[in-house]
């Protein structure tokens, strides 16, 4: 049993059981009062760099605010817990209260990773998800990636509208329950990754402009509003410390950095690697995953473990569904050629002009290991940003989807599943939030505009019929129906998923470190063959045919998996997949 603590410069830090130090960055203020429940207000001492500090006789469980002007008090931007939500007081937390049962857990190598993305709110919060972990381990999952748990406005949200990024959101449970969830996952051999949002703050409960306008960069606009000024060292440290806080105090095994392209100072990414390397324990595995429209191969070469590979997803989606709206338009021409490049080199765009963004996109990625690319058929964005929240399995050819699913799990790239995908869930996953009044209306109108632009929905009646993100029914309807899991179809999909992951862990994973591409070739307008040399010299081949014609292929020495059991040797049937190994010569 042991406890862990990461001491932040900002926020409330216990000095003793009944003594706490408070530090609050408010460069726009001349005076700040610390308001602690049960105590008279304390005038905080102003520092030269915009911080205000004070100490008070109080301990864990005490609630407090900062009064920045007469009649106006705000929560702590580095609050460790907000028991009454984003507009309420902050609570002092003793980080050493929780005693870890698995303090010596070191994590797992990146090559072991099979990611499972999940929204904890839909699974019953921190305690509810604990009950799911055993079945995921049995399936072959090695890492849980949880959507953001930072405190957001309302009782439900995707999590990307967070405003207090150090505080686990109250609807999911207290901080100790989050630690217990992670601790239990570690006891089962599971890594836990946290999705963090460092590119913007949400619209409800964001008080920073009232006292720290210097947090923002007026010259940097994002789709969510004013960007963050990462060139300000205090601002940069606020987010660096947050990353370390989750990794060192909560023992997360890694972070997925949302919309990394909107973090304007590229040097910040190098600083994060350096800080983690300085603080982490010897032998501990910590993994960093990027969501990055820029396809910045340099960050992956410098030490970031992986990037969500949207090029892989978009090429496969166009082949499966024929969609050409929105960002799929860039993939409608030479789709199989783009998939060939992705399988061989990681990214489809490596410095070429990318029309949807109206700019050059990407950098050469062919020298990177295949494990650097996190691939997926479905995730929260790709389902939830559809007008009807439909999962891909509900609108594509079943045989082709099975083939694509096998490609996902048996290529040496790092695969990710979305909650319920393992049993072929057909439950929609909508965008949802819990805003009110004018803000709720703004969100509704914003979604309608998005669907007009990217989905070509212009009929007012059709737009009006879309699920309201703020309706409790929209949130409830997004919870995967576990009754599907126990149907014959659900059991068939579970068996299929388990079989594929068993093959991956037994025959591919042990030889992934040092694996490299051996090239890929187009077999037809709707079929491709890709090969990789694994670390033991074995040649892994995968072939997928989205078309209607049988194609000739070279037969591997040993077949790992095929979606058509009675396949004729040396052929690739319509709407099928095959994977095999050839021994080194």
CATH number of the domain bearing residue 42: 2.60.40.10
The pLDDT mean for the chain works out to: 96
Is residue 1 included in any domain, yes or no? no
Is residue 488 included in any domain, yes or no? yes
Tell me: do 498 and 560 sit in the same domain.
no
Q: What is the pLDDT of residues 257-300, one digit of tens each?
A: 999 999 989 999 999 999 999 999 999 999 999 999 999 999 99
Per-residue pLDDT, averaged over 71-97, amounts to: 98
- The CA distance from 79 to 88, in Å, is 11
Tell me: do 221 and 72 sit in the same domain.
no
Give the predicted TM-score (pTM) of the model.
0.98
Strands (E), 315-358: 352-354
Q: What is the pLDDT of residues 417-432, one digit of tens each?
A: 999 999 999 999 999 9
Tell me: do 223 and 287 sit in the same domain.
yes
Instruction: Please work out, in degrees rounded to the nearest 5, the angle formed at the alpha carbon of residue 35 by the alpha carbons of 30 and 40.
Output: 110
Nearest to 158 by CA among 442, 441, 416, 434: 434
Tell me: do 305 and 414 sit in the same domain.
yes
* Eight-class DSSP state of 368: S
Q: Total domain count for the chain?
A: 3
Tell me: do 419 and 557 sit in the same domain.
no
Tell me: do 220 and 328 sit in the same domain.
yes
Catalytic residue among 112, 258, 345, 421: 258
Spatial contact of 579 and 500, defined as CB atoms under 8 Å apart: no
Is residue 311 included in any domain, yes or no? yes
Is residue 88 included in any domain, yes or no? yes
Which of the listed residues 42, 64, 92 is the one where a domain comes to its end?
Answer: 92
Order of all β-strands in the sheet with 11-16: 11-16, 19-25, 51-56, 45-46
Q: Is the pLDDT of residue 585 over 80?
A: no
Tell me: do 214 and 192 sit in the same domain.
yes
Tell me: do 549 and 401 sit in the same domain.
no
Nearest to 497 by CA among 377, 580, 417: 417
Is 566 annotated in the active site?
A: no
Catalytic residue among 291, 296, 323, 422: 291
- And the tokens for 178? 């989050």
Is residue 4 included in any domain, yes or no? no
Is residue 5 included in any domain, yes or no? no
CATH number at residue 522: 2.60.40.1180
% of the chain residues with pLDDT over 90: 93
Q: Which residues pair with 217 in a beta bridge?
A: 227
Spatial contact of 55 and 20, defined as CB atoms under 8 Å apart: yes
Is 49 annotated in the active site?
A: no
CATH number at residue 131: 3.20.20.80
Tell me: do 397 and 273 sit in the same domain.
yes
Domain of residue 36: give its range: 11-92
Structure confidence at residue 462 as a pLDDT band (50, 70, 90): confident
Which of the listed residues 504, 523, 549 is the one where a domain comes to its end?
Answer: 504
Tell me: do 320 and 210 sit in the same domain.
yes
Is residue 102 included in any domain, yes or no? no
Cα of 584 vs its chain's centroid, Å? 37
Nearest to 509 by CA among 535, 482, 478: 535
Q: What is the pLDDT of residues 373-413, one digit of tens each?
A: 999 999 999 999 999 999 999 999 999 999 999 999 999 99
Which of the listed residues 65, 92, 119 is the one where a domain comes to its end?
Answer: 92
Is residue 59 included in any domain, yes or no? yes
Tell me: do 326 and 460 sit in the same domain.
yes
Provide the pLDDT for residue 357: 87
Nearest to 142 by CA among 504, 514, 542: 504
Tell me: do 20 and 60 sit in the same domain.
yes
Provide the pLDDT for residue 222: 82
Q: What is the pLDDT of residues 531-546, one digit of tens each?
A: 999 999 999 999 999 9
- The CA distance from 347 to 329, in Å, is 17
């Amino acid at each position: 049993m042991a406890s862990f603590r990461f001491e932040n410069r900002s926020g409330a830090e216990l000095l003793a059981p009944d003594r706490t130090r408070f530090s609050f960055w408010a460069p726009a203020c001349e005076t700040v009062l610390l308001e602690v429940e049960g105590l008279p207000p304390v005038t905080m001492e102003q520092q030269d760099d915009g911080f205000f500090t004070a100490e008070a006789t109080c301990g864990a469980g005490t609630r407090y605010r900062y009064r920045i002007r007469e009649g106006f008090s705000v929560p702590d931007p580095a609050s460790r817990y907000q028991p009454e939500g984003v507009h309420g007081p902050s609570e002092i937390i003793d980080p050493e209260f929780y005693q870890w049962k698995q303090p010596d857990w070191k994590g797992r190598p990146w090559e072991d990773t099979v990611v499972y993305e999940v929204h904890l709110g839909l699974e019953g919060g921190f305690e509810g998800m604990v009950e799911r972990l055993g079945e995921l381990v049995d399936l072959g999952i090695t890492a849980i990636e949880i959507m953001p748990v930072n405190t957001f406005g309302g009782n439900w949200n995707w999590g990307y509208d967070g405003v207090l990024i150090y505080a686990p959101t109250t609807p999911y449970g207290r901080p100790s329950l989050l630690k217990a969830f992670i601790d239990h996952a570690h006891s089962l051999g599971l890594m836990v990754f946290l999705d963090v949002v460092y590119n913007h703050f949400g619209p409800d409960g964001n008080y920073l402009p009232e006292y720290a306008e210097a947090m923002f960069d007026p010259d940097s606009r994002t789709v969510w509003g004013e960007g963050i000024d990462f060139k300000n060292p205090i601002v940069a440290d606020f987010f660096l410390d947050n990353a370390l806080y989750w990794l060192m105090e909560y023992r997360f095994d890694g972070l997925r950095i949302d919309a990394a392209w909107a973090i304007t100072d590229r040097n910040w990414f190098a600083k994060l690697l350096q800080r983690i390397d300085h603080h982490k324990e010897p032998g501990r595995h910590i993994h960093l995953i990027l969501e990055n429209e820029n396809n910045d191969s340099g960050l992956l070469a410098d030490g970031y473990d992986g990037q969500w590979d949207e090029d892989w997803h978009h090429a496969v989606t166009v082949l499966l569904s024929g969609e050409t709206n929105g960002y799929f338009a860039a993939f409608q021409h030479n789709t199989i050629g783009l998939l060939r490049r992705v399988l061989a080199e990681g990214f489809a765009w490596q410095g070429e002009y990318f029309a949807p963004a109206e700019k050059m996109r990407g950098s050469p990625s062919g020298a990177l290991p295949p494990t650097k690319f996190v691939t997926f058929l479905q995730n929260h964005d790709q389902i939830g940003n559809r007008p009807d929240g439909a999962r891909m399995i509900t609108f594509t050819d079943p045989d082709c989807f099975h083939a694509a699913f096998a490609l996902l799990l048996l290529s040496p790239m790092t695969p990710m599943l979305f909650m319920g995908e393992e049993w072929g869930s057909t439950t929609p996953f909508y965008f949802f939030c819990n805003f009110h009044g004018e803000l709720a209306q703004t969100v509704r109108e914003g979604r309608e505009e998005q669907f007009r632009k990217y989905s070509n929905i212009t009929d007012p009646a059709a737009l009006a019929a879309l699920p309201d993100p703020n309706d409790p029914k929209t949130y409830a309807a997004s919870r995967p129906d576990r009754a599907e899991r126990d149907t014959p179809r659900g059991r068939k999909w579970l068996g299929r998923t388990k079989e594929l992951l068993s093959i991956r862990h037994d025959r591919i994973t042990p030889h992934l470190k040092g694996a490299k591409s051996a090239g890929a070739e187009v077999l037809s307008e709707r079929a491709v063959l890709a090969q990789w040399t694994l670390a033991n010299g074995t040649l892994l081949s995968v072939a997928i045919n989205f078309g209607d014609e049988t194609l000739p292929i070279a037969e591997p020495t040993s077949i790992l998996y095929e979606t058509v059991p009675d396949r004729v040797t040396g052929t690739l049937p319509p709407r099928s997949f095959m994977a095999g190994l050839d021994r080194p010569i």
